[in-house]
Amino acid sequence: MFSDRITDELHYFCPMSDSPIYHKHLFICTNQRPDNAPRPSCGEAHGLELVVAFKKAINEANLGVPIRAQKSGCLDLCELGPTVVVYPDGIFYGSVQLSDVHEIVQEHLVNNRPVERLRLREHPKKAK
Ligand code: FES
């Protein structure tokens, strides 16, 4: 018989679990390319500032459920950055500005309504 602790660890390692560790999990691209790279990078465009702002806004919202915001590597939507993805919804946001953080937290994380004006619906490579 598993203890609660072991059961919790299994949920963490089992992506198909119906009991995820985080209610919402945000990945914020902070990728930074070298100067003269052929593609832009979110890190140059305040990616790290977004991570700090999301963490602060989530903390202040005091949601009562586990929500994590963290930096990520390139999400391959560089031309549309800075980019953020929210799981388990799989909703991508593009051109996210510091002034958008509060709206994403209030609408998407608190009210469970994605912010449509920032939402990316199709990968640009797929659209070609
Ligand atoms: S550098 Fe951010 S999506 Fe590629």
Q: How far is the CA of 6 from the centre of ligand 1 (A)?
A: 36
Identify the helix (H) or strand (E) that includes residue 28.
strand 24-29
Q: What spacing in Å lies between the alpha carbon of 70 and ligand 1's midpoint?
A: 14
How much of the chain, in percent, has pLDDT values that exceed 70? 84
Question: Atom 1 in ligand 1: which residue has the minimum CA distance?
Answer: 41
Which pLDDT value is given to residue 32?
Answer: 96
For residue 33, the ligand 1 atom closest to its alpha carbon is 1
Q: List, for residues 30-54, the tens digit of each pLDDT value.
A: 999 999 999 999 998 898 999 999 9
Dist. CA 53–CA 109, nearest whole Å: 14
Distance 2 CA to ligand 1 centre (A): 41
Fold of 20-127: Glutaredoxin (3.40.30)
Domain boundaries along the sequence of the chain: 20-127
Residue 24 bridge partners (DSSP) = 67
Query: pTM value?
Result: 0.83
